[in-house]
């Protein structure tokens, strides 16, 4: 069974605006999916509903077989959400920041797991540094480490490379590739077609609240 199943999903905001107009999408475990679309397309709305942060107007979303509205606690625990903004205390160490995130999500302490996560993200040498001492790329990796700290099966990356330079973008792509090898299902949003092409198995093009196509990335490149 797919790890995420989205059926006929609609969202109409209080002001009558139709942000999602019947989205259908199934995502397999271990897959990397890029959601490509311009500002206002509905990407954040879609992610917010899957994470259980916004209620759908119609349709259904199942995560690991559980309904995201009815079984919010179970489904939220399966999902790591990496927002665009850095939300860390500048005067806290990397180790504490990541360890604290695990605690916030109700998981038992597991230093061995935190060590693995920091090593996977090439942050191990920086574990005793304060957040404010890190480069921009390292700070972004700590945001991912915070999400991985509580062992989610699914990772959402909201515009992981928005406003970063070419080198940092390549670094983030490598990070995603390494996470794939650990079997984490990854859904990322992006404005950049090259990014979708480079790192995703499939690309969903979302525009005006509709998912226009979801195909193998090579097929996408031929169409555009
Ligand atoms: P994206 O993430 O692709 O930029 P969003 O999902 O954030 O798109 O927004 C989709 C559309 O829904 C936009 O036109 C946005 O203005 C509108 N929208 C988002 N949130 C609300 C809200 N709370 N009330 C009304 N309209 C909203
Ligand atoms: P989520 O991953 O669910 O977005 P966060 O880990 O960002 O949650 O933060 C959860 C809560 O813990 C927030 O209210 C945040 O302000 C608080 N928090 C996060 N990190 C720290 C910290 N190092 N010290 C104190 N409070 C923190």
Give the number of the ligand closest to the Cα of residue 15. Answer: 1
Alpha-carbon distance values, 180 to 16, 33, 166, 183, 191 (Å): 39, 11, 21, 5, 21
CB 214 within 8 A of CB 206: no
CB 142 within 8 A of CB 155: no
Q: Is the CB of 100 under 6 A from ligand 2?
A: yes
Per-residue pLDDT band at 26 (split at 50, 70, 90):
very high
CA of 167 to the centre of ligand 1 (A): 30
d(CA 79, CA 84): 16
Q: How far is CA 133 from the centre of its chain?
A: 25
CB 37 within 8 A of CB 205: yes
CB 48 within 8 A of CB 81: no
Enter the tokens of residue 178: 């390494």
CB 82 within 8 A of CB 106: no
The interface predicted TM-score of the complex, written ipTM, equals: 0.65
CA of 58 to the centre of ligand 2 (A): 31
Question: pLDDT at residue 36 above 80?
Answer: yes
- Model confidence over 151-207: pLDDT tens digits? 999 999 999 888 788 888 888 888 898 888 888 999 999 988 888 888 899 999 999
Q: Round the average pLDDT of the chain to a whole number and report it.
A: 92
Per-residue pLDDT band at 44 (split at 50, 70, 90):
very high
Query: Residue 224: what pLDDT?
Result: 60
Mean pLDDT computed over 59-66: 98
> C-alpha angle 55/58/59, rounded to 5°?
105
CA of 189 to the centre of ligand 1 (A): 14
């Amino acid at each position: 069974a797919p790890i995420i199943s989205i059926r006929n999903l609609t969202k109409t905001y209080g002001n009558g605006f139709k942000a999602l107009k019947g989205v259908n999408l199934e995502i397999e475990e271990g897959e990397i999916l890029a959601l490509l679309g311009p500002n206002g397309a509905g990407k954040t709305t879609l992610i917010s509903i899957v994470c259980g942060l916004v209620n759908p107007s119609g349709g259904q979303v199942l995560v690991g077989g559980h309904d995201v509205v009815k079984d919010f606690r179970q489904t939220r625990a399966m999902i790591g959400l990496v927002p665009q903004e850095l939300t860390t205390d500048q005067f806290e160490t990397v180790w504490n920041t990541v360890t604290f995130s695990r605690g916030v999500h109700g998981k038992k302490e597991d230093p061995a797991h935190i060590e693995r996560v920091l090593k996977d993200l090439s942050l191990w040498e920086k574990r005793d540094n304060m957040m404010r001492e890190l480069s921009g790329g390292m700070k972004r990796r700590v945001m991912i480490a915070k999400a991985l700290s509580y062992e989610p099966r699914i990772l959402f990356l909201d515009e992981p490379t928005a406003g970063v330079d070419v080198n940092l973008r390549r670094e983030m792509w490598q990070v995603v590739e390494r996470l794939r090898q650990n079997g984490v299902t990854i859904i990322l949003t992006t404005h950049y077609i090259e990014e979708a092409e480079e790192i995703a198995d499939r690309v969903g093009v979302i525009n005006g609240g509709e998912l226009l196509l979801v195909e193998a990335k090579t097929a996408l490149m031929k169409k555009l």
